[in-house]
Structure 1
């Protein structure tokens, strides 16, 4: 359950004041589920700051720390990291808050899609840093038809991998990719492949979604067999998550879309 900034222990709030000046206002951000505190702060010395954090014994702390390690390498793709630290039993991470932003709209014809395409191209051209992170083969290999397919997923590209609309912030000028907790090293086409079910769930046909992806060089260069194998893998993954968490009905559209895309590519979950 997410808490408000004022509910953090006093040593945490005093530490925040020493780092960023007086905290004038604190607005809890309700979207997202992977942190216990998420707030936009109006500060004296750093302007608007986005703070998120977890108790140090939380299972997701290592994911948050992965995000902090990756962030310095993704300037102009994700918001600037202001700091990552632990105090009074809390693991915290702070960024420049993105001004006047909203979550991405993936529906056909959305003006957000060209902005997303631009930032995904930037990411595809960004070298993957030599920091500890998951590999695509390890992360999705168990969902492939056979172990030989793992090699199709491996690569040296930096992948965001979580294109939930809330993780793509849209301003008048551009798109920003936020929440890098699931950063992964792997084949360059994978980020686009992970986005496709979301496009389909938003109203694109499989042909329309693939035509959008095909405008990207990394998709054009990808092995079609690798794309097909991965489509089947993620449909299986989403299906298993749906069975494991049957109460989370909001997931069903993406589960259905992943199956539709896998069927479109001539494979089944």
Structure 2
């Protein structure tokens, strides 16, 4: 089955030819070569350009660009991603920065182009195993982090408060009836539970921060993690826990029990973090979608259902509410 994801029905992105001439010239100067062809990746979860380009010196690159008119955060995200890609340790399975352009209004980064494909959905066990192995390798290579900021616990402090802000009507709107009844019955308990997510979340690992199938590329022999604008520094197991609600057809607790990043983490810490992730997904899934990605909330609510089901299972076991 062909993979789909939260950007699969987004509005088309701008193309290379649609960028202002001075921006194109500045990007080429940063790369030290002229763009001779560009093939746009037209769909995605950001409003800027995303294109595979060929340069007149024979190199290929993946180019992202955005102007401040596309949103106040678009340019800053590219700036942050460029900082991250510029210092990634060699063992991190990610593209490498080739050039960066920033004129205050527009920013663009070019990185090595990975000739790979996204995982097939629903997840195939062999591909999921490859990705889970890559996450452990990535965390090991990214520890200690080459950056000290931003801290995950600071970046996410306001977002991981979903159960504390949700009301029963919102829960009922977001979740299937049976799951909604359970969450509403335990809303106060879930709010208290999620409040413990930050106790062990600080750490010294450079985290990707936004792992899902469309940010992963598979080649014949490697797994690459792409798109790093949400990166922060925290505990090494956080990327895995945020990734798992995007996976269907797998025993998530079995993965947590045996994965090297989580097998030694206290079960109470895992449960509190899963509660915080579930509350976040329910909350964000109820927000109006951004204009450039009208389908994204549907995918986030699907992830919310997976996360809340997982949470209910954990709360029925040793971490019973």
Q: Report the TM-score range of the alignment, normalised by the length of the smaller protein.
A: 0.7 to 0.9
Greater Cα radius of gyration, structure 1 or 2? 2
Contact 1:231 1:265 in 2 (8 A): no
Instruction: Give the match for residue 133 of structure 1.
Output: 150
Instruction: Please report the TM-score for the alignment, with normalisation by the length of structure 1.
Output: 0.87
Q: Take 1:62 and 1:89, find their aligned partners in 2: how far apart are those partners? A: 10
Partners of 1:50 and 1:243 lie apart in 2 by: 33
Q: CA RMSD in A?
A: 2.5
1:87-135 CA deviation, whole Å, 9 max, x = no partner?
A: 3831111101102x11123645433223212321122212212342232
Tell me the equivalent position of 2:34. Answer: 22
Give the 5 Å matches for 1:139-154. Answer: 139-140=156-157, 141-143=160-162, 145=192, 147=195, 149-154=197-202
| Cα distance, 1:159 vs structure 2 | 1.5
Which of 34, 47, 50 is matched with 2:59 structurally?
A: 47
CA 1:254/1:221 → structure 2, altered by over 3 Å: closer, same or farther?
A: same
Q: Look up the match of 2:184.
A: none
Task: Give the alignment's TM-score, normalised by structure 2.
Answer: 0.74
Judge conservation of contact 1:153–1:186 (CA < 8 Å) in 2.
yes
* Partner residue, 1:221: 264
Runs of 4+ in 1 over 6 A off after TM superposition: none
**How far does residue 35 in structure 1 lie from its aligned partner after superposition?**
4.0
In 1, the alpha carbon distance for the partners of 2:74 and 2:25 equals 24
Contact 1:69/1:131, CA 8 A, preserved across alignment: no
2:231 pairs with 1:183: yes
Aligned-residue offset at 1:149: 4.4
State the partner residue of 1:59.
73
Gaps of 5+ in 1: none
Q: Counterpart of 1:38 in 2: which secondary structure? A: strand
Superposition deviation, residue 66 in structure 1: 1.8
CA distance in 1, matches of 2:242, 2:80: 20
Q: Return the structure number with greater relative CO, CA threshold 8 A, min gap 6.
A: 2
The secondary structure found in structure 1 opposite 2:282 is helix
Q: 1:102 aligns with which of 114, 117, 122?
A: 117
**Structure 1 position 232, deviation (Å):** 0.8
- Determine if the alignment matches structure 1 residue 78 to structure 2 residue 94: yes
| Aligned twin of 2:314 | 265
Deviation at 1:20, TM superposition (A): 4.3
Tell me, in whole angstroms, the C-alpha distance in 2 between the residues paired with 1:44 and 1:191: 38
CA contact (8 A) 1:137 1:186 kept: no
2:206 alignment counterpart = 158
Q: SS at 1:145's partner residue?
A: helix
Give ranges in structure 2 of 5+ residues lacking alignment: 1-10, 163-190
Structure with the higher fraction of residues in strand conformation: 1
CA separation in 1, counterparts of 2:270 and 2:104? 46
Which residue is equivalent to 1:93? 109
